[in-house]
Structure 1
Amino acid sequence: MSHHAIYDSMQEGCADILTPVCPFCGQQGWITVPQPGADALMEGQPVQDALPEVDPRLREQITSGIYPRCFPGAEFGDGIDPDLIHGH
């Protein structure tokens, strides 16, 4: 059973995934993925197995909510404006 919020997409053969809130910038987003990958997520497959063709940064957004623009700072500890981090 998936913990992802997955919806029908306007694009044929695709599904839209509502991502968690980014812990750095506080935004939530949508990722459009191929329907077979969304089905695999709903069946409980890990995101890297269900969506191997999706950019790793977008898979990270699906899993943790971290936006690709926030990802370099999250990975390497620099490049993020401290004002974007909640709690400061």
Structure 2
Amino acid sequence: MSRHAIYDSMQDHCADILTPACPFCGQKGWITIPQTAADALIAGHLVQDALPDLDVRLREQIISGTHPRCAPGAEFGDGIDPALIR
């Protein structure tokens, strides 16, 4: 069972995820993903396994709500350092 809010998308073969509120700005967000990835999330797969090709910052937004523009370091143009997440 998925803990993500996943909705039908207006784009063919896609789904929209409502992301949690960002801990920095308080706003929620939307990310459009392939329907196959949405099905994997609904089946309980981890975000990094369901969406391995999605930018690490967008995967973080799906998990924690942190927008790429709000992440520590974003004001300098570099967002989250992927080396810190591994």
Taking structure 2 as the reference length, what is the TM-score of the superposition?
A: 0.83
1:63 matched to which residue of 2?
A: 63
Which is higher, the Rg of structure 1 or of structure 2? 1
Structure 1 segments of 4 or more deviating over 3 A?
Answer: none
Unaligned runs of 5+ in 2: 76-86
Aligned counterpart, 2:10: 10
SS at match of 1:31: strand
Q: Residue 11 of structure 1 aligns to which amino acid in structure 2?
A: Q
Structure 1: which 5+ residue stretches go unaligned?
80-88
Query: What whole-Å deviation, never above 9, does each CA across 1:37-80 have from its counterpart, x for those lacking one?
Result: 00000000000000111111000000000000112x1xx6x85x
Other structure's SS at 1:54 match: coil
* Higher RCO structure (Cα 8 Å, ≥6 apart): 1
- Percent of aligned pairs with the same amino acid: 69
* CA-based RMSD: 1.3
Q: How do 1:1-88 residues align onto structure 2 when only pairs under 5 Å count? A: 1-71=1-71, 73=72, 79=75
